[in-house]
Amino acid sequence: MNGNSTATGTAEAGAGTRLLLDLGPLLIFFLAYWLTGKNIIAATGVFMAATAAAMIFSRIRVGRVSPMLWFSGVMVLGFGGLTIWLHDDTFIKIKPTIYYAMVAAILVFGLVTRRPTLKLVLGSAYPGLSERGWTLLSRNWALFFAAMAVANELVWRNSGTDFWLGYKLWGALPATLLFAAANIPMLMKNGLGSDAAEAPVPPPQ
């Protein structure tokens, strides 16, 4: 009984920690933008610091930094650094496009080569999921990320910074969470256990 309780407690803590690491820096970025009087350069610096802190926290608290967090962190620090160095917010705005496009390409590559890359990254988070389930999940997220890349390009190129940030907060973030929830019935039909609702959600970058 104690072993089961411990395992459950760890899973719950892990789910909360993942949510904090994935969404925390992004929410801090939005908050910093408004608190600095809509200074996108200053907010980007805060975003970079929050992302670095999340990676350090993950290493200390969890014992490792997940591949998704590494990937996201490197892109935030890289494009954020260019934004601050050149004082050009174009770089931080195109970062989500490149992030989405690269993730979609990686997932498609995994599908074509019949080696689902999503399973390599998130396998332990989806216990019991069949190979068909992994294939469907990879296909669905690849299509979703491709659509999000196009959407981000259309929004930032045809609107101001305020609207773009509002889209990320009230459009991209809810869309990602809703899409993840919409996949749960399919996952459960393909072998996923009762922990489906706690499955990690790729962060909306």
Q: Which of 21, 205, 182 is nearest to 196 (CA)?
A: 182
SS3 for 87-151 is CCCHHHHHHHHHHHHHHHHHHHHHHHCCCCHHHHHHHHHCCCCCHHHHHHHHHHHHHHHHHHHHH
The pLDDT tens digits for 78-114 are: 999 999 999 999 999 999 999 999 999 999 999 999 8
Could you say which residues of the chain have pLDDT below 50? 1-13, 194-197
Domain total for the chain? 2
Identify whether 142 is part of a domain.
Answer: yes
Residue 117 sits in the same domain as residue 48: no
Residue 82 corresponds to which tokens in the numbers above?
């260019």
- The answer to pTM > 0.85 is no
User: Which of these three, 59, 86, 113, is where a domain ends?
Assistant: 86
Contacts of 161 (CB under 8 A, 6+ apart): 38, 40, 89, 93
pLDDT of residue 11: 35
- Six-digit token string for 118: 């999503």
106 and 168: one domain? yes
The 8-class DSSP code of residue 191 comes to T
Helix H or strand E encompassing 166: helix 161-167
8 A C-beta contact, residue 107 and residue 117? yes
What is the pLDDT, as a whole number, of residue 202? 64
Note the pLDDT tens digit of each residue in 108-128: 999 999 887 888 877 667 778
CB 118, CB 107: distance < 8 Å: yes
Residues 78 and 112 reside in one and the same domain: no
Q: Using CA atoms, how far apart are residues 173 and 113, in angstroms rounded to an integer? A: 30
Query: Which letter does DSSP use for residue 4 in this model?
Result: H
Based on the fold, state whether residues 45 and 109 are members of the same structural domain.
Answer: no
User: What domain range includes position 21?
Assistant: 16-86
Domain boundary among 51, 69, 86: 86
117 and 136 belong to one structural domain: yes
pLDDT at residue number 3: 41
| Pure H helices in 1-116 | 2-35, 40-61, 67-86, 90-112
Judgement on whether residues 73 and 130 belong to the same structural domain of the protein: no
Same domain, 144 and 164: yes
Are both 94 and 194 inside the same structural domain? yes
Give residue 198's pLDDT: 52
**Same domain as 188, residue 123:** yes
- Regarding whether 93 and 82 lie in a shared domain, the answer is no
**Residue 5: what pLDDT?**
39
